[in-house]
Chains A and B, each alone.
Chain A
């Protein structure tokens, strides 16, 4: 065709352009009857070409519109979520202030004040599932393995001195970290946006409910702060060494119980006891040597139902009814639901990408820092715990000793509890 075009003394661009201009104007029948006319043949082929290009154009325009609509939807959604989040915070603050005023006037009982919160309500009695202390199919690995691909001591219980770091952490540490959070002197992000919910009452006590995944990097980080916070309201008789998955930071962390670290299932239960609260933990498991994985909520619910433990069955029902789940970790602290982690604390300063400093730490090193906090990493864990403590204090009318700390009261005010 190039030769034809050249013979006719027109360049390829002008041939195509003139063909495009003449699109649909040269019916194939005419050309069949005029085989000698090379010019018409060139125009015919160029016209067919042009038709195809036009079809492509329409298809691509449709795709363009879809992309634009999607981008617009993302932007609108972001704005909506932002304003929704702000209005929720404002309404939480408003409800809190109204409740505080009413309580001062002693004109509203605590049961009546609960009517301001959403309709899903659980007030049940039952025995919490007690998990096994050892799982023969998922033994502890004693071999020393390299950081980043490390499972050393996975599923091994903390010894008494290690457990004591969690159970007997000094209130002073929580106070210092709380003040650092309040005066903005922490390097790492700390914050747990919360939404008011009805408390899950079990055996007369409000509950802390946790839904997480052993493979998840943020769950791994979060459990340290959770354990420190829960230790202020009760005691763990056992905690276990664990890790997030190889593909998700391979952080050293705590497990609430021995877990099925090589297959996908759900492990419920823990070894926690408190006179103030219940702690219900639901841990989704997947092969720890892979990346982050999470089974659908419906599958998790089926597996929890299979345990036939009423409190846990109701707890997963409650999570599903709230319809606020948006990934792990997902926690409920009495009257407050927290979607996501409490902090981004993977070292004294958290780099924006792997490897993270905490990946290269052993459990003993993390516990040593928590036992004697001197740097940003440890203070951030305590600050994250402070937020959970404030949420819990707000749910038990500040009856626990830790609730009297000025920093905790300051955080309660700051986060609208």
Chain B
């Protein structure tokens, strides 16, 4: 399938999925994800919202993760007999939570050091903190790229299954 055809397929799937009901769900999930992310950042920064990466990346990640969730719900609603369908939502949720931890990892990093201290020394954890604080934007960008690829993949699958 050429790139143009694939794009058309994905677009038709998007139109199919995004009825008013699912669009509303998407917005609600995006808001919920944003709140989760913000609270994770605040928890790590004494209640202060300090993003270590450009806000645009945060918004893009929240939107893409909410699209993944919507796809998951759409799958579930259409195919009740299958055990799979909540699939897409899982990575989206993981990406959001992980981004909350990464973005909030600044001067202090209580989640990283709190959980990590069960397995690693402070010296080892400081390496992780150092990497995350220096490469937060890169990490979020990678998560965003994975989200984007998965969204295209799942919309493609919706289209393929419809042909069946």
Interface segment among A46-54, A266-274, A275-283: the answer is A46-54
Q: Least Cβ distance of A209 to chain B in Å?
A: 15
- Asked if A45 is an interface residue, CB under 8 A from chain B, the answer is yes
CA distance A298 to B136 in the complex (A): 21
Q: Which residue of A lies closest to B46 (CB)?
A: A344
- Asked if B87 is an interface residue, CB under 8 A from chain A, the answer is yes
Instruction: List chain A residues, Cβ under 8 A from B49.
Output: 352-354
Instruction: List chain B residues, Cβ under 8 A from A248.
Output: 50, 106-107
Contact: B114 with A218, CB < 8 Å? Answer: no
CA distance A21 to B42 in the complex (A): 48
The answer to whether residues A293 and B107 also contact, given A56-B87, A354-B50 and a CB cut-off of 8 A, is no
Q: Which of A13, A59, A64, A328 contacts B107 (CB 8 A)?
A: A328
Contact: B130 with A74, CB < 8 Å? Answer: no
Q: Give the contact-size bracket for chain B.
A: 35 or more
The answer to whether residues A218 and B46 also contact, given A298-B126, A326-B113 and a CB cut-off of 8 A, is yes
- Asked if A87 is an interface residue, CB under 8 A from chain B, the answer is no
Q: Which of B46, B114, B134 contacts A293 (CB 8 A)?
A: B134
Interface segment among A134-142, A173-181, A317-325, A366-374: the answer is A317-325
Instruction: List chain A residues, Cβ under 8 A from B84.
Output: 53-54, 56-57, 60
Contact: A20 with B86, CB < 8 Å? Answer: no
The answer to whether residues A327 and B42 also contact, given A53-B84, A292-B133 and a CB cut-off of 8 A, is no
Interface segment among B8-16, B59-67, B90-98, B139-147: the answer is B90-98
Contact: B46 with A341, CB < 8 Å? Answer: yes
How many residues on the A side are at the interface (Cβ–Cβ under 8 A)?
68
CA distance A5 to B90 in the complex (A): 32
- Asked if B25 is an interface residue, CB under 8 A from chain A, the answer is no
The answer to whether residues A16 and B46 also contact, given A57-B82, A60-B86 and a CB cut-off of 8 A, is no
A 326-366 to B, binary, CB cutoff 8 A, 1 in contact else 0: 11110000000001110010100010111000000000000
- Could you name 19 residue pairs across A and B whose Cβ atoms are closer than 8 Å? A2-B162, A5-B164, A20-B81, A49-B160, A56-B84, A57-B84, A77-B115, A189-B47, A218-B46, A247-B52, A292-B133, A293-B133, A293-B134, A297-B123, A325-B113, A340-B108, A341-B46, A344-B47, A353-B48
